[in-house]
Structure 1
Amino acid sequence: MSAEQHDSDWFVSSYSGGNNNSCVEVRFTGHGTEVRDTKNRAAATLTFGAHRWNAFLRALRG
């Protein structure tokens, strides 16, 4: 399944600072959370399990 097939599932991360030129997009799947570069949507995505994703968000919030 390519990212282009389900672009409606993706949203711009609220941690991107509102700058659409340097942001990441996120989507939630049955396997975890996927992250991709907005400027290069065809490139590989990173996938995180729920535990790792939540730890990442907690670290961002400080």
Structure 2
Amino acid sequence: MRRTPVPVAALTETVSDEWRKSSHSGPNGCIEYTELSARQRAIRDTKKRELGMIVFDSTSWRAFISGINTGVLRP
């Protein structure tokens, strides 16, 4: 049986200057996102930036966005 690789996300303190507010953010919660490289994206909590960010590889990012868009992941 062939195994399917699991998407990987990691918590990190990498710095980026080009953060954008997610259109899914509301008055009680704001998530920002940035493109770290052609193959990495990151999100962070605007109110708790000191906690760092979660970095996604390309596959994980697509799965994350798909989960939001289909309602699998919701606040």
Which TM bucket (shorter chain)?
Answer: 0.7 to 0.9
Correspondence for 1:42: 50
Correspondence for 1:10: 19
Shift of 1:42: 2.2
- Cα distance in 2 for residues equivalent to 1:58 and 1:45: 20
State the structure with bigger RCO (CA 8 A, min sep 6), 1 or 2: 2
Larger radius of gyration: 2
Which runs of structure 1 show a deviation greater than 2 angstroms over 4 or more consecutive aligned residues?
none
Task: Report the structure, 1 or 2, having the larger helix content.
Answer: 1
Unaligned runs of 5+ in 1: none
- Cα distance in 2 for residues equivalent to 1:44 and 1:50: 19
> What TM-score does the superposition give when structure 1 sets the normalisation length?
0.74
- Cα distance in 1 for residues equivalent to 2:14 and 2:62: 25
How many residue pairs are counted as aligned between the two chains? 57
RMSD, matched Cα: 2.0
Correspondence for 2:36: 29
- Cα distance in 2 for residues equivalent to 1:2 and 1:42: 11
